[in-house]
Structure 1
Amino acid sequence: MKMWAGRFSEQNAKEVDIFNNSLHFDKVLYKYDILGSIAHVKMLSKQNIISKDDEEKLVKSLNDLMKDIDEGKVTFDEEYEDIHMAVESILTDRIGDSAKRIHTCRSRNDQVALDMKMYVKAEIKEVISLIKNLLYTLLEIAKDNTKTIMPGYTHMQRAQTVTFAHHLCAYSEMFRRDVDRLKDTYKRTNVMPLGAGALACSTFDIDRDYVAELLDFDNITLNSLDTVSDRDYVIELLNDLAIIMMHLSRFSEEIIYWASDEFKFIVVSDKYSTGSSMMPQKKNPDVAELIRGKTGRVYGNLMAMLTVMKGIPLAYNKDMQEDKEATFDSVNTVKQCISIFTGMISTITVNEDVLKEACVNSFMNATDVAEYLVKKGCPFRDAHFIVGNLVGKCVNEDKFLQDLTLSEFKEQSGLFEDDIYEVLHVTTGMNKKNMTASPKEEIVKRYIDEILDEIK
């Protein structure tokens, strides 16, 4: 018999039981459900709502149950409906009437909110740890490549010279923002919901602050209706995870084309590549492609949760059970993707000669030439036009700016002198950029050192 069956004269149809059951996925929350119940029991005893003897029996039995589940000694019966009913039913079988007191002053509505918040807090910490490991890996690679020049792109066209280190540090900035977002979400998640009851609290004199202290929450929620119907923290987490996947997907896209025969900028290790069942020569970047593909599923989970919540009136509604599968899937997917991406990027080989050649045989020094003219008094728009004419001439004659004679430069402007050839060198312009955020070697090295210190 179901614990809530007193009001009912008929049993649920079998298909309703199956449709309503969430135990097959929410059993992931067992640890948080048990820890939350232990704190709740201690509070009930402190407030003289249950006896000290009941507290001791319940706390011991709850700890024993958690140990048994950890060790795989418990099989959850699907008739339990959800993890909350499962824990209470098993306790009742083990210790009898004391277990029937455990649900005093609480509802599954505030109980599941507590479980989910505890789960989200724990997973945020784990994802942050994985991102920091990825950051460390990127910065260590960057340290070895502060002199490795490469094309910087806009519109997928070669634009200006940067370094491989500078390019990696751009992703470092993305992942640092991801950490900041997760920390912000943690702050708003770290508000204890238990005590709101089904929607309007309890007539018992409970101590919610004591429960919050036991469970390491900073504060307690302030409105019972909002408490049981709030899933903003879940949506925030799903949003954070979607943005992380977007960053990983962008990076994976670059790994894919950098490793192609058309670019040959890097070589991906065999450990993180696969082959073709038909074409013997193939070496495919399947890890990067799968990360790129899994991004869509994480996006979908965010959209699913936003859609679930958009029309729900206060307070709790069963629709909100849909938060769990989406959240569990996104968390597991993102953790796996961060971990395997970190392994993949740590084993790449950078083809420095290919990257340098791509910089030399290009017009990426054109902006430096325009700024050379500006420094000699030419208005920038005029300098832009002059250098554009020079590039057009080079394109027509199948050569680059550094191939032009001084007389050819002077045909476009008398401001050109012999010192133009120093400007045309592939690294000259880059190394004159002394401002924060530039690709200059010293600036990038300082950035790497600062961020490595930050993530320790």
Structure 2
Amino acid sequence: MTDLLWQKPDVQVDARIMRFLAGNDVLLDREFFLHDITASKAHVEGLARIGIVAAGEAASLARELDALAEDFRSGTFVLDERYEDGHSAIEARLTERLGDAGRRVHTGRSRNDQILVATRLWLKEKLSALATHCRAIAAACLDRAAQPALPLPGYTHLQRAVVSSTAMWFAGFAEGFIDDALRAQQTLAWIDANPLGTAAGYGVNLPLDRAHTTQALGFSRMQASPIYAQLSRGKFELAALEALASALLDLRRMAWDLSLFTTAEFGFVSLPPEYTTGSSIMPNKRNPDVVELLRASYATVAAARCEIEQLLSLPSGYQRDLQFSKGSMFHGMTHGLAALELVPDLIGRLRWNEPAMRAAIEPAMYATDVAIEQAAQGVPFRDAYRAAAAAAAAAGEGRTPERSLAERVSPGGGADLRLAELAARLRALPD
């Protein structure tokens, strides 16, 4: 391992303790390394603007930071166990190439605000991706909802309840994912605050040009209080995971429906073959493994949230416990986004089995229609309800699923899906 930034000459470093302290931190830092380099460039520019770094040195540092980024992308530079973390690697590389200029780059900042700004930039990127995936899922659902509606049993308590349709099913998930996209964007706006320049959480005795770094890094505002910058660590990560969890909750319910609908007992849906796998022992099986893992993906995000929540039982100021939040955030966000990315294609290619769905619509499922028709003619609803319940087996006489859906004129019902309204909401979402 290269020389430690904090090493004191009278303290012997124990290799076992260092392994425990470092953990897999340097490997996780690979995910945030390019953002750390970007923030380092902005910090150097800010130091030059207040005269701490000479203009020539700033140019050299910027050039070397760009070179390091390119070497990292190409694999020429590998962030590995030679370094305690990504921050140390950046400083070591700059010092190796530029000597004293490299040693000046850490002036006015701490590894605390370095990781804050790098992960904040990363979270903005991931929340943008979350919004994009949710918009794509909503658009795929709206496309399918606009196709001719097929009758589909509607269930409550997993029991056949009323006549529904494939269009209503798709429209329901479309609106859910529109809301999820909006929540992702609102969360992004909430965490879009620049912590760079707050150092270890108490500011520094330099007139840092934090307005410049805020603009250079594309943040909408500066996180003014250094103490709050530290207090927000974990809090902002939780907010991002909660936005992701909102989308994965909708995905979990969609996946549950598809898991049921693909069984032989239902037989409503056929999945694209690429979304199924075979059994290692039973030659007759095709299993909906992808759908099942989509259903399970919420658990990964919930686990990440739980770990970070438990870490946050802390006083103000930085505590090393927070190091463990990085892995939870990375694994939760990465897995959740990978799951959502698969969904639009799945939605576009699944196929409904119309005969099986029609066969599952039984006469009693029209009883609600009968009761409401009687109520509309002046019969007190509770009386109409009891009469319809008594004659439920005959409620379907002369009725069809198409008629039931055509008469469902309440906004959002089968005859008034409000797809144009949902499409307008989708288009209105910020890019």
TM above 0.5: yes
- Which residues of 2 match residues 297-376 of structure 1 at below 5 A? 297-309=300-312, 311-359=313-361, 361-376=362-377
Q: Distance in 2 between matches of 1:332 and 1:319?
A: 22
Matched, 1:282 2:285: yes
Which residue of 172, 185, 188 corresponds with 1:186?
188
Amino acid at match of 1:96: G
Q: Distance in 2 between matches of 1:259 and 1:17?
A: 52
- Corresponding residue SS for 1:162: strand
- Which residues of 2 match residues 53-452 of structure 1 at below 5 A? 53-145=56-148, 147-231=149-233, 232-309=235-312, 311-359=313-361, 361-391=362-392, 394=393, 400-403=394-397, 421=398, 424-440=399-415, 442-447=416-421, 449-451=423-425
Amino acid at match of 2:369: D
How many residues of Structure 1 are paired with residues of Structure 2 in the alignment? 425
Q: Distance in 1 between matches of 2:342 and 2:400?
A: 39
Taking a change above 3 Å as real, the CA distance of residues 210 and 339 of structure 1, as seen in their structure-2 partners, is: same
Per the TM alignment, residue 68 of structure 1 is displaced from its structure 2 partner at its CA by: 0.7
- Percent of residue pairs identical: 26
Per the TM alignment, residue 451 of structure 1 is displaced from its structure 2 partner at its CA by: 4.9
Question: Which structure 1 residue ranges, 5 or more long, are not aligned?
Answer: 395-399, 404-420
Q: Distance in 2 between matches of 1:344 and 1:152?
A: 22
Per the TM alignment, residue 209 of structure 1 is displaced from its structure 2 partner at its CA by: 0.7
Q: Distance in 1 between matches of 2:344 and 2:420?
A: 23
Q: Retained in 1: the 8 A contact 2:365–2:396?
A: no
Q: Retained in 2: the 8 A contact 1:161–1:364?
A: yes
Q: Distance in 1 between matches of 2:379 and 2:129?
A: 55
What's the Cα RMSD here? 1.7
Q: Distance in 2 between matches of 1:228 and 1:378?
A: 64
Q: Distance in 2 between matches of 1:350 and 1:64?
A: 53
Q: Distance in 1 between matches of 2:69 and 2:118?
A: 14
Per the TM alignment, residue 98 of structure 1 is displaced from its structure 2 partner at its CA by: 0.5
Q: Distance in 2 between matches of 1:14 and 1:284?
A: 48
Matched, 1:16 2:14: no
Q: Distance in 2 between matches of 1:137 and 1:9?
A: 63
Alignment TM-score, normalising by the size of structure 2? 0.94
Q: Retained in 1: the 8 A contact 2:259–2:292?
A: yes
Taking a change above 3 Å as real, the CA distance of residues 20 and 79 of structure 1, as seen in their structure-2 partners, is: farther
Question: Which structure 2 residue ranges, 5 or more long, are not aligned?
Answer: none
Q: Distance in 1 between matches of 2:295 and 2:378?
A: 48
Q: Retained in 2: the 8 A contact 1:20–1:81?
A: no
Taking a change above 3 Å as real, the CA distance of residues 35 and 83 of structure 1, as seen in their structure-2 partners, is: same
Taking a change above 3 Å as real, the CA distance of residues 221 and 387 of structure 1, as seen in their structure-2 partners, is: same
Q: Retained in 1: the 8 A contact 2:142–2:419?
A: no
Larger radius of gyration: 1
Amino acid at match of 2:371: A
Q: Distance in 1 between matches of 2:294 and 2:402?
A: 34
Amino acid at match of 1:42: E
Amino acid at match of 2:298: T
Q: Retained in 2: the 8 A contact 1:166–1:444?
A: no
Q: Retained in 2: the 8 A contact 1:44–1:206?
A: yes
Q: Distance in 2 between matches of 1:175 and 1:452?
A: 9
Amino acid at match of 1:426: P
Q: Retained in 1: the 8 A contact 2:171–2:419?
A: no
Deviations 1:307-346 (A, max 9, x none): 111x211101111111111111111111211122333222
Taking a change above 3 Å as real, the CA distance of residues 111 and 62 of structure 1, as seen in their structure-2 partners, is: same
